[in-house]
Each structure stands twice: as structure tokens, then as C-alpha cells.
């Protein structure tokens, strides 16, 4: 049975993206501090950076990083996460991840702009471009493509919130960096009562990161 999963990095004050993005620093000024515990893990280094040396942390953060990559059959992401907002005039833009993106599955990019042909990449990733007007339809297509595996809504926070507010998410895992940003986009607004529809579990990693998981 396919589950719809979200994993996000947020600050203690609930900001899930970082302010002041630029083309040179598309994730914004605080991104490195928000995701530092994740990018330090052995799993991230191996799966995303291709570092097979065994370097990286192996504790609680790495256990969540391993889970992040397991059992995903399709991914949905917003246009900004794919990079269309940073490079709107490049019809051949293929995302931030090089010729072999780390998804190894169909990725549905939600964009209001003109349709683009699908882009098959090395390693099993194919980018498809769909309208965000009907997220249920895109989710149905992604679920069919996932072949019984799970669908991840990868981000950014606006796309994640659209699925959360529509009640479509089975598993939400947030890695809370113990920092206060006071700027960016807040994850939690208008989500009162999520702990009633979902069960909550929390755990603190060696890095100080607080992992909170909502599951239904």
C-alpha cells in the first residue's frame, strides 16, 4: 500500500525554508545550518555526493537519512525546488542534481509555466512536468507510477504544505535544527490538530537535531 511521505528540515521556530535566495545561493542564507546534520550523514554523502569512502555521521541522523531513501517509487516536487524559478528562461534546465539525479524514479515537477517534454535522466530518474492546479491527479499518477512503493512529496515547503493542508500525507518527518531563524516560510500555519489525525513520535539525535514524525 503506497504511503505519501514528506521529509523536511525546519528550525525550532518552524521555518522550513531560508530567506534571501539568490541564483548563486538558491536555498538562501540559512540553508546550510538548517540541513547541516543531514548533509553530514554517511548516507547523504554516499547517496547524493557519491562519496564511497565511508565518511559521515552514523548515528540517529543517519538512520533517518537511510529511511529517507528507502521505498520511494515516485517523487513530487515544486518548481522552485527543481530550479525553474532560478532559471526560468532555460528550456533545457535539468535540475540541480547533474546528469544522474539521486531519485532513481519518476519525479513530477509542479509548474504553472508552459508544459515541457519529459526528461529522462541517467540512473532511472525521469522528470515530468505537471500543473499544480490538481494535486490529487498528480498524486494519483505518481502513485500508479510508484508500483506499490511510496510517493514522496519532496518540497519545497509550499508544495509540502499544499499536500498537508489537503490531508494527503501519511508520514511527515521533520528534522528540527535547534536554531531560531525568524525568517523564511513557516511550515506549521493552519495545521492545527495534525497530532489528532496522526500519531507523533520524537527523538533527539547526537547532533542536537530533534526528529519529529507524524504517522497515520
Q: Is 203 in the site for its own copies (CB under 8 A)?
A: yes
Contact between 109 and 119 under an 8 Å Cβ cutoff? The reply is no
Residues 7-36 close enough to bind its own copies by CB under 8 A: 12-14
Part in contact with its own copies (CB under 8 A); list of ranges 63-71, 78-86, 144-152, 196-204: 196-204
Within 8 A by CB and 6+ apart from 40, the residues are 56, 57, 61, 207
Contact between 45 and 69 under an 8 Å Cβ cutoff? The reply is no
Q: Is 168 in the site for its own copies (CB under 8 A)?
A: no
Q: Is 195 in the site for its own copies (CB under 8 A)?
A: yes
Task: Specify the pairing of strand 210-215 against strand 199-204.
Answer: antiparallel
Residues 134-163 close enough to bind its own copies by CB under 8 A: none
Q: Is 206 in the site for its own copies (CB under 8 A)?
A: no
Nearest distance from residue 35's CB to its own copies, in Å?
16
Side-chain-side CA neighbours of 70 within 13 Å: the count stands at 7
Alpha helical stretches, state H, 130-197: 135-146, 157-165, 194-197
Query: 24, exposed or middle or buried, with CB in 10 Å at 0-12, 13-18, 19+?
Result: exposed
Does an H or E element contain 82, and which? Answer: helix 79-82
Nearest distance from residue 200's CB to its own copies, in Å?
4
Q: Is 170 in the site for its own copies (CB under 8 A)?
A: no
Residue 14 vs 102, nearer CB to its own copies: 14
Q: What distance lies between CA 173 and its chain's CA centroid?
A: 10
Residue 137 vs 203, nearer CB to its own copies: 203
| Residue selected from 58, 102, 183, 215 as contacting its own copies according to rule CB under 8 A | 183
Does an H or E element contain 216, and which? Answer: none
Nearest distance from residue 212's CB to its own copies, in Å?
7
Nearest distance from residue 182's CB to its own copies, in Å?
4
Q: Is 182 in the site for its own copies (CB under 8 A)?
A: yes
Q: Is 202 in the site for its own copies (CB under 8 A)?
A: yes
Q: How many residues bind its own copies (CB under 8 A)?
A: 25
Cα distance from N-terminal residue to C-terminal residue, the chain: 13
Residues that bind its own copies (CB under 8 A): 12-14, 178-183, 188-195, 200-204, 208, 210, 212
Amino acid at each position: 500500500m503506497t504511503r505519501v511521505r514528506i521529509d523536511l528540515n525546519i528550525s525550532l521556530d518552524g521555518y522550513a525554508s531560508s530567506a534571501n535566495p539568490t541564483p548563486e545561493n538558491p536555498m538562501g542564507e540559512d540553508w546550510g545550518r538548517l540541513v547541516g546534520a543531514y548533509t553530514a550523514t554517511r548516507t547523504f554523502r554516499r547517496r547524493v555526493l557519491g562519496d564511497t569512502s565511508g565518511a559521515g555521521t552514523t548515528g540517529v541522523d543517519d538512520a533517518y537519512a537511510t529511511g529517507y531513501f528507502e521505498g520511494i517509487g515516485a517523487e513530487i516536487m515544486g518548481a522552485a525546488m527543481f530550479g525553474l524559478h532560478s532559471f526560468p528562461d532555460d528550456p533545457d534546465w535539468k535540475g540541480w542534481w547533474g546528469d544522474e539525479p539521486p531519485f532513481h524514479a519518476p519525479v513530477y515537477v509542479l509548474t504553472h509555466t508552459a508544459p515541457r517534454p519529459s526528461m529522462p535522466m541517467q540512473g532511472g530518474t525521469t522528470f515530468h512536468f505537471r500543473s499544480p492546479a490538481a494535486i490529487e491527479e498528480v498524486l494519483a499518477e505518481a502513485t500508479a507510477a510508484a508500483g506499490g512503493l511510496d510517493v514522496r512529496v519532496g518540497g519545497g515547503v509550499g508544495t509540502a504544505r499544499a499536500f498537508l493542508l489537503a490531508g494527503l500525507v501519511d508520514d511527515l518527518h521533520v528534522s528540527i535544527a535547534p536554531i531560531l531563524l525568524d525568517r523564511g516560510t513557516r511550515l506549521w500555519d493552519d495545521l492545527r490538530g495534525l497530532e489528532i489525525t496522526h500519531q507523533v513520535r520524537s527523538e533527539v539525535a547526537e547532533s542536537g537535531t530533534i526528529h519529529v514524525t507524524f504517522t497515520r
